[in-house]
Amino acid sequence: MAPFEACVKTPFATLGISADDRHVTAIRYLSPDVPALVPKKNTLAHLVCVQLQAYLENPAFDFELPLKLGGTRHQIAVWEAMQAIPAGETRTYGEVAKAVGSSARAVGGACGANPVPLIVPCHRVVANDGSLGGFMGVRGEGFERSIKRWLLEHEGALRP
Protein backbone atom coordinates (compact mmCIF):
# COMPACT_ATOMS: atom_id res chain seq x y z
CA MET A 1 0.00 0.00 0.00
CA ALA A 2 1.24 3.47 -0.86
CA PRO A 3 2.04 5.77 2.02
CA PHE A 4 -0.71 8.27 2.69
CA GLU A 5 -0.49 11.64 4.38
CA ALA A 6 -4.13 11.24 5.45
CA CYS A 7 -6.93 8.69 5.41
CA VAL A 8 -10.45 10.09 5.59
CA LYS A 9 -13.49 8.04 6.58
CA THR A 10 -16.51 8.76 4.37
CA PRO A 11 -19.94 7.13 4.03
CA PHE A 12 -18.74 5.22 0.94
CA ALA A 13 -15.07 4.34 1.62
CA THR A 14 -11.91 5.45 3.33
CA LEU A 15 -9.99 7.87 1.12
CA GLY A 16 -6.21 7.58 1.12
CA ILE A 17 -4.63 10.95 0.29
CA SER A 18 -1.11 11.43 -1.03
CA ALA A 19 0.35 14.89 -1.41
CA ASP A 20 3.72 16.55 -1.48
CA ASP A 21 4.40 20.12 -0.39
CA ARG A 22 2.88 21.57 -3.56
CA HIS A 23 0.43 19.11 -5.15
CA VAL A 24 -2.16 16.47 -4.45
CA THR A 25 -0.61 13.44 -6.14
CA ALA A 26 -3.13 10.66 -5.52
CA ILE A 27 -6.41 9.74 -3.92
CA ARG A 28 -7.31 6.08 -3.48
CA TYR A 29 -10.62 4.51 -2.54
CA LEU A 30 -9.83 2.09 0.27
CA SER A 31 -11.94 -0.36 2.21
CA PRO A 32 -14.08 1.22 4.93
CA ASP A 33 -12.10 -0.99 7.36
CA VAL A 34 -8.94 1.08 6.81
CA PRO A 35 -8.52 3.34 9.85
CA ALA A 36 -8.51 7.10 9.62
CA LEU A 37 -5.17 8.90 9.60
CA VAL A 38 -5.27 12.54 10.65
CA PRO A 39 -3.02 14.76 8.54
CA LYS A 40 -0.50 17.16 9.99
CA LYS A 41 -1.93 20.65 10.43
CA ASN A 42 -1.13 23.30 7.85
CA THR A 43 -0.32 20.78 5.13
CA LEU A 44 -1.84 20.23 1.73
CA ALA A 45 -3.23 16.90 2.94
CA HIS A 46 -5.05 18.80 5.70
CA LEU A 47 -6.55 21.17 3.11
CA VAL A 48 -7.72 18.15 1.08
CA CYS A 49 -9.48 16.80 4.17
CA VAL A 50 -11.17 20.15 4.81
CA GLN A 51 -12.38 20.32 1.20
CA LEU A 52 -13.56 16.71 1.24
CA GLN A 53 -15.66 17.49 4.31
CA ALA A 54 -17.11 20.51 2.49
CA TYR A 55 -18.03 18.24 -0.45
CA LEU A 56 -19.71 15.74 1.87
CA GLU A 57 -21.79 18.58 3.32
CA ASN A 58 -22.49 20.23 -0.05
CA PRO A 59 -22.24 18.08 -3.19
CA ALA A 60 -22.01 21.21 -5.36
CA PHE A 61 -18.74 22.22 -3.63
CA ASP A 62 -15.96 22.97 -6.14
CA PHE A 63 -12.58 21.63 -5.15
CA GLU A 64 -9.71 24.10 -5.42
CA LEU A 65 -6.57 22.07 -4.98
CA PRO A 66 -3.24 22.04 -6.81
CA LEU A 67 -3.09 18.73 -8.64
CA LYS A 68 -0.17 16.85 -10.13
CA LEU A 69 -1.69 15.02 -13.10
CA GLY A 70 1.04 13.00 -14.74
CA GLY A 71 -0.33 11.20 -17.76
CA THR A 72 -0.46 11.10 -21.53
CA ARG A 73 -1.87 14.00 -23.52
CA HIS A 74 -5.00 11.96 -24.08
CA GLN A 75 -5.45 11.17 -20.38
CA ILE A 76 -4.96 14.79 -19.40
CA ALA A 77 -7.50 15.91 -22.03
CA VAL A 78 -10.03 13.42 -20.66
CA TRP A 79 -9.34 14.46 -17.05
CA GLU A 80 -9.81 18.12 -17.99
CA ALA A 81 -13.09 17.26 -19.73
CA MET A 82 -14.26 15.42 -16.61
CA GLN A 83 -13.45 18.43 -14.43
CA ALA A 84 -15.82 20.47 -16.62
CA ILE A 85 -18.79 18.21 -15.77
CA PRO A 86 -20.80 20.00 -13.06
CA ALA A 87 -21.92 18.20 -9.92
CA GLY A 88 -25.38 16.75 -10.45
CA GLU A 89 -24.74 16.04 -14.13
CA THR A 90 -23.23 13.17 -16.05
CA ARG A 91 -21.71 12.66 -19.49
CA THR A 92 -21.44 9.42 -21.37
CA TYR A 93 -18.12 7.89 -22.34
CA GLY A 94 -19.13 8.68 -25.94
CA GLU A 95 -19.84 12.34 -25.19
CA VAL A 96 -16.49 12.78 -23.49
CA ALA A 97 -14.82 10.92 -26.37
CA LYS A 98 -16.39 13.26 -28.91
CA ALA A 99 -15.29 16.31 -26.89
CA VAL A 100 -11.65 15.17 -26.84
CA GLY A 101 -11.53 13.53 -30.30
CA SER A 102 -11.17 10.00 -29.02
CA SER A 103 -13.07 6.75 -28.55
CA ALA A 104 -15.33 5.73 -25.69
CA ARG A 105 -13.06 2.80 -24.83
CA ALA A 106 -10.03 5.11 -24.62
CA VAL A 107 -12.01 7.47 -22.36
CA GLY A 108 -12.80 4.51 -20.11
CA GLY A 109 -9.09 3.71 -19.94
CA ALA A 110 -8.29 7.30 -18.97
CA CYS A 111 -11.00 7.21 -16.31
CA GLY A 112 -9.42 4.09 -14.87
CA ALA A 113 -6.00 5.76 -14.80
CA ASN A 114 -7.29 8.87 -12.99
CA PRO A 115 -4.85 9.48 -10.09
CA VAL A 116 -7.21 11.75 -8.14
CA PRO A 117 -10.76 10.40 -8.38
CA LEU A 118 -13.48 12.50 -6.79
CA ILE A 119 -11.39 15.65 -7.34
CA VAL A 120 -11.30 14.78 -11.05
CA PRO A 121 -14.83 13.38 -11.10
CA CYS A 122 -14.60 10.22 -13.20
CA HIS A 123 -17.73 8.99 -11.39
CA ARG A 124 -19.73 11.46 -13.53
CA VAL A 125 -18.96 9.50 -16.71
CA VAL A 126 -21.59 6.84 -17.40
CA ALA A 127 -22.47 4.31 -20.10
CA ASN A 128 -24.27 5.39 -23.27
CA ASP A 129 -27.45 3.61 -22.16
CA GLY A 130 -27.51 5.71 -18.97
CA SER A 131 -26.38 2.87 -16.72
CA LEU A 132 -23.45 3.36 -14.37
CA GLY A 133 -20.87 1.75 -16.62
CA GLY A 134 -17.61 0.62 -15.05
CA PHE A 135 -15.72 2.14 -12.19
CA MET A 136 -12.15 1.55 -11.03
CA GLY A 137 -11.80 -1.03 -13.77
CA VAL A 138 -14.76 -3.07 -12.50
CA ARG A 139 -17.96 -3.57 -14.48
CA GLY A 140 -19.94 -5.79 -12.10
CA GLU A 141 -21.65 -4.85 -8.88
CA GLY A 142 -19.58 -4.61 -5.74
CA PHE A 143 -17.57 -2.22 -3.60
CA GLU A 144 -16.29 -0.15 -6.54
CA ARG A 145 -19.65 0.46 -8.19
CA SER A 146 -21.28 1.15 -4.82
CA ILE A 147 -18.89 4.12 -4.53
CA LYS A 148 -19.92 5.46 -7.93
CA ARG A 149 -23.60 4.98 -7.11
CA TRP A 150 -23.22 6.76 -3.74
CA LEU A 151 -21.40 9.73 -5.29
CA LEU A 152 -23.96 10.16 -8.09
CA GLU A 153 -26.86 9.90 -5.63
CA HIS A 154 -25.14 12.41 -3.31
CA GLU A 155 -24.83 14.85 -6.19
CA GLY A 156 -28.42 14.31 -7.35
CA ALA A 157 -27.42 12.81 -10.70
CA LEU A 158 -28.89 9.40 -9.86
CA ARG A 159 -32.05 8.52 -8.02
CA PRO A 160 -31.59 6.13 -5.07
Grouping H, G, I as helix, E, B as strand and the rest as coil, residue 107 is helix
- Please indicate whether residue 49 is annotated as part of the active site: no
Q: Which of 7, 49, 111, 122 is catalytic?
A: 122
Are the beta carbons of 44 and 24 closer than 8 angstroms? yes
Single out the residue of 141, 148, 120, 125 nearest to residue 25, CA to CA.
120
**Do the Cβ atoms of 45 and 32 come closer than 8 Å?**
no
CA 144: distance to chain centroid? Answer: 12
Q: Nearest 5°: phi and psi at 92? A: -85, 160
What is d(CA 94, CA 99) in angstroms, rounded to the nearest whole number?
9
Catalytic residue set: 122
